[in-house]
Structure 1
Amino acid sequence: MDQPVSPLDDIRARIAQAARIAGREAESVELVAISKTHPAEALAPLIAQGQRVFGENRVQEAEAKWPALRGEHEGISLHLVGQLQSNKAEDALNLFDCIHSVDRPSLVSALGKAMDRTGRRVPCFVQVNIGAEEQKGGCAIAEVPALLAAAREAALPVAGLMCVPPQGIEAAPFFALLAKIAADNGLSQLSMGMSEDFETAIMLGATHVRVGSALFGARG
């Protein structure tokens, strides 16, 4: 009898298939397992299967959950995917290995100063409000060049761009637009695509896909 396929194995296979169709190597796509709201015990099966890159929404939740897990498992890389308050910049730098949500000049300034103080420079993605939605984080499309210039002035290591497209409509045009903005600004990495649309994102150049519910089920 065939062994049941784990959710992680299924997602990895789908990433590999989407990459293959796009003429890319599967290894060119980083799977960020979105572990926000899920307790440490829910993460153990994924860690046992070799998943090492995880994403959290909030500094406080990550502080409560990850130090112990990192003490037990080598090679964990932690990504902040939620909005970051400027007064939490140094806390975030001490905890995370990548920040996906740089979206305003005040945060750029706070992160730059915190990086100078700590000597720790972690890669950052500039988050773009790709659907111009009032309720969403991210800088306006027209403001991307200025925010990138500010980030470089503050010596932030800018990895690329990130977006969360509007819900309920086809994501592909938004992913394509983010890829164009990145290319226009000399950036090669794209954090885009979640459980419902990561395959489309990979077709359009995603280097980091942020998958939560497809791995863990509904949020806790």
Structure 2
Amino acid sequence: MNTTIADRLSIAQSRINQAAQKCSRMPDEIKLLAVSKTKPISDIIEAYRAGQRLFGENYVQEGEQKITTLRAEYSDIEWHFIGPLQSNKTKIVAQHFDWMHTLSREKIAQRLNDQRPAHQAPLQVCIQVNISQEDTKSGIDAEDVIALATKINQMPQLTLRGVMAIPTATDDIQVQQDEFGKLQRIYQQLQQHFDNIDTLSMGMSADLDVAIANGSTMVRIGSAIFGERS
């Protein structure tokens, strides 16, 4: 039986609700970020009509094209940039996106701050932490988070909201638990030092339950909603 994007969104939301209830959390504490990278605009509109408002994009130019196409008619979509960002493309993210999840360098933060138009609300940002300590992964070391957060906190066109991580790709529940637990402790530390810290961005389809059990407030789901990349 073929399922629609609306069907798959409903299934994803049910998974979130069940995972929240399992660890005695309120389901509305956890936001669903629909990862729409490489998917056509028609899929985003279909998800929007099913009630989805938060969309994540990994590629700068693709995201810019979708935002400029949809912004007039779908102005309440919240656009999240969740991919790696080179310094020569910061202006696009600063001008078009609402959120940036993968901030790990002061240079990038400063460029985003300086290039954010003054008439727009500050760009909401998360610091990406390399909790798996893999050489191939982006992100800052755990011990450097507070220092970067302090710098970001001084930039008026950015608002620090929390932390994000992409953990080890593994089915080992204990590894997932260790890494998510580590990020949760960093998040709680940030909450003690800074205002507005309310976002623990971690968890995807494969590790959603463990992420939510460790306090995730935003899970990123792509192919389980939109289907595999064609």
Q: TM (normalized to structure 1)? A: 0.91
Displacement after TM superposition at 1:73 (Å): 2.7
Displacement after TM superposition at 1:7 (Å): 0.7
Q: Does 1:160 align with 2:170?
A: no
Aligned to 2:194: none
Aligned to 1:62: 63
Q: Deviations over 1:44-95 (max 9, x none)?
A: 3211111111000012001222322233334111100011122322211221
Q: Which amino acid aligns with 2:45?
A: A
Q: Which amino acid aligns with 1:25?
A: M
Q: Deviations over 1:76-119 (max 9, x none)?
A: 11100011122322211221111101111111111222237565
**Partner Cα distance (1:53, 1:119) in 2:** 18
Question: For residues 16-55 of structure 1, what are the structure 2 equivalents within 5 Å?
Answer: 16-55=17-56
Deviates more, 1:152-161 or 1:28-37: 152-161
Does the CA contact (< 8 Å) of 1:87 and 1:110 recur in 2? no
Q: Which amino acid aligns with 1:163?
A: A
2:187 to 182, 188, 193: 182
Q: Deviations over 1:175-197 (max 9, x none)?
A: 11000011122244200001111
Q: 1:165 to 1:132 in 2, by over 3 A?
A: same
**Partner Cα distance (2:92, 2:21) in 1:** 39
2:202 to 168, 192, 195: 192
Aligned length in residues: 218
**Partner Cα distance (1:47, 1:163) in 2:** 26
Aligned to 2:226: 216
Q: Does 1:125 align with 2:123?
A: no
Question: For residues 62-101 of structure 1, what are the structure 2 equivalents within 5 Å?
Answer: 62-101=63-102
Does the CA contact (< 8 Å) of 1:15 and 1:29 recur in 2? yes
Question: For residues 135-146 of structure 1, what are the structure 2 equivalents within 5 Å?
Answer: 135-146=136-147
Displacement after TM superposition at 1:166 (Å): 1.0
RMSD: 1.9
Displacement after TM superposition at 1:164 (Å): 0.2
Does the CA contact (< 8 Å) of 2:95 and 2:117 recur in 1? no
**Partner Cα distance (1:154, 1:79) in 2:** 19
**Structure 2 runs not aligned, ≥5 long:** 192-196
Displacement after TM superposition at 1:212 (Å): 0.5
Q: Which amino acid aligns with 1:10?
A: I
Displacement after TM superposition at 1:211 (Å): 0.5
**Partner Cα distance (1:73, 1:117) in 2:** 22
Does the CA contact (< 8 Å) of 1:93 and 1:120 recur in 2? no
**Structure 1 runs not aligned, ≥5 long:** none
Q: 1:39 to 1:161 in 2, by over 3 A?
A: same
